[in-house]
Amino acid sequence: MKNKIKYLYLIVLASGFVACSDLLEEVPASQLLAENSFKTEANAIAAIVGVYSSLHLEGVYGKSQSLFSTDENNAGSKVPLSGLNLYTFTADNIEVILPIWRDHYNGINRANLAITRIPSVDMDVNKRNNLVAEAKFIRALLYFNLIRYFGDVPYKDSETTSFNNLNISRTPVATIYQNIIEDLEYGVDSLKVKTAFLAGHATQDAAKTLLASVYLTRGSMAKRDNTGDGLADFALAASYSNEVINSNRYELCPYFPDAFIVENKNNDEIIFDVQFKSPGLGVGNTIGINMGIPSDASGVDNLISGGSQGAIRANPYHQYYYEQADSVRLQWTDARIKIVSATGKFTRLSAVDNEPVSAAKFRRYPVRSPNFVLQTSDYDVNWPIFRYAEVLLIYAEALNETSGPTQPAIDALNQLRSRARNVNRGGVHADVLKRSLTLQKSTGLADLTLSNPLVSSQAAFRDYIFYERSRELSAEGKRWFDLVRWGSLKTTLRNMINKMSAKALEAPVVQWPPLPGITQPPSTTTNKWTKYWTGNNGQTVEWNKITSNVQDFHMLLPIPNNERLANPSIGPNNPGYN
């Protein structure tokens, strides 16, 4: 048994070191023994690298985000993922749900190892506290995800070093929230302030932003479940987000697409993201292959031409969430374009084409580059967990919940509207190397005022936030969590098919001005949507299945059966699942 314990400990510890970092030297295998693991500052830093590397895992941010069908997008029928896209998944789902559970706990164990062991390392106290705070931030983030996915889950705050005491019962969500908040408050006190050298690291502002999100979520769920008014939590969400705003360390990229392109990584809008690298380093992701722009070729030829499989597709009705002048966010997020494989240039789809619309916010930029290498799971697009744009949205929503419409809340939203008015005069989709960006303000999309009916009452403001969060954050893995905390998952999705059917009787809204170098679709002014909804891609058929299947119990995922068999102390599954 002693050998088993040492072997398990070695695996746990070594898993934390299997990560790439330009800052760290390779740790010799002989130093990975338990008795030598936490002797020096280098050992402590290596452990933190392992903690961050857990964010790359498939079930954390390497693959699983944005796979749940929402009013924004859904995984197409070619990527069924055992019913995940159609809300027919069960506790036996091993494609997505089991990796979410497994990989989050893998990361938590790495964090617990660092939190437990680093305090004994002889090093500068401030550096040591900062490393512990980074590990606590990641642990808080992972537990926040877990309780939003599964509700009550087993809570562990020490590393697993033996095969004993692995049967742990589920801890109430309320208790885990308190633990999350304590970890993040430690981060506010001990983490560093943002600098250019801390890209990808947790910072003081990242801890405040996560705290704001935690309080906003907890307040929303209290209202949803009629367990309280959530006002104290909303006030704290507003306070922490306001501190980040007033720090003046962040700003919106002037042009919406520049918040996401590879060439503009670590821009001033990013508060915390997951850093990915390629090629062939083992720390890439599937974002580019799943959420991008397909070409007119098929199979491998599509990928060679720079195209994406387009597994994550935009909901065709989502375009109606945008105002007429909000064309940049619409066209960059829900891309009605494809690549002409012969030239590598774009052509636009008409609104009545049978082809699905791409959820392409994180597409490679430019689509074809001289250094393109055929890859399926090794893309280097960073995944934004928190952008400054979301801080503004949290602040506005939290203020509205505590005080109703106020000028500060409206001012925050107007920052997003002002940025959305910025149009690249060369064309929204003129992605060429090198782009010479000249911004001009589009007409329309005027600033909001307190007298504007869109935000003139608390209820109207809530509705505006409902759509604005989607317009700004679509395809960033936020929507399912939002619909759940608002208690509107089922009603929103079930309303979609009715809205689609109604739009099938109307002429489509075309928001595409003529752009140089982009092939334009044929005129659609007299066409109806009927062809689009009932065409070869079966949009109506697929959404009929989604909307008829989704139930209230889908606001939680099932505990994987594999885990319940391994740990009988977990007890019965979440309601609705066997």
Question: In this predicted model, which residue has the larger pLDDT, 107 or 362?
Answer: 107
Amino acid (1-letter code) at residue 556: L
The band of 466, judged by pLDDT with boundaries at 50, 70 and 90, is very high
pLDDT recorded at residue 80 = 63
Consecutive H or E run containing 440: strand 439-441
Count CB neighbours of 424 within 10 A.
Answer: 21
Q: Quick check: 525 pLDDT over 50?
A: no
**Average pLDDT of span 471-497:** 94
**Average pLDDT of span 268-274:** 97
**Average pLDDT of span 341-350:** 74
pLDDT recorded at residue 162 = 61
- C-alpha dihedral, 172 to 173 to 179 to 180, nearest 10°: 160
Query: How do strand 383-387 and strand 270-274 relate by DSSP bridges?
Result: antiparallel
How many helical (H) and strand (E) elements, i.e. helices and strands, does the chain have?
A: 18, 10
Confirm if 77 and 542 have CB atoms less than 8 A apart.
Answer: yes
The band of 438, judged by pLDDT with boundaries at 50, 70 and 90, is low
pLDDT in tens, 107-133: 999 999 999 999 999 999 999 999 999
pLDDT recorded at residue 277 = 82
Distance CA 366, CA 372 (A): 10
pLDDT recorded at residue 339 = 79
Query: How do strand 383-387 and strand 358-359 relate by DSSP bridges?
Result: unpaired
Tell me which range, 23-32, 51-60, 423-432, 509-518, is most confidently predicted by mean pLDDT: 51-60
Q: Which SS3 state, helix, strand or coil, does residue 31 take?
A: helix
Q: For all residues of the chain together, what is the average pLDDT? A: 82
pLDDT recorded at residue 25 = 34
Distance CA 20, CA 11 (A): 17
Distance CA 566, CA 224 (A): 33
pLDDT recorded at residue 431 = 47
The overall pTM is greater than 0.75: yes
Distance CA 204, CA 184 (A): 9
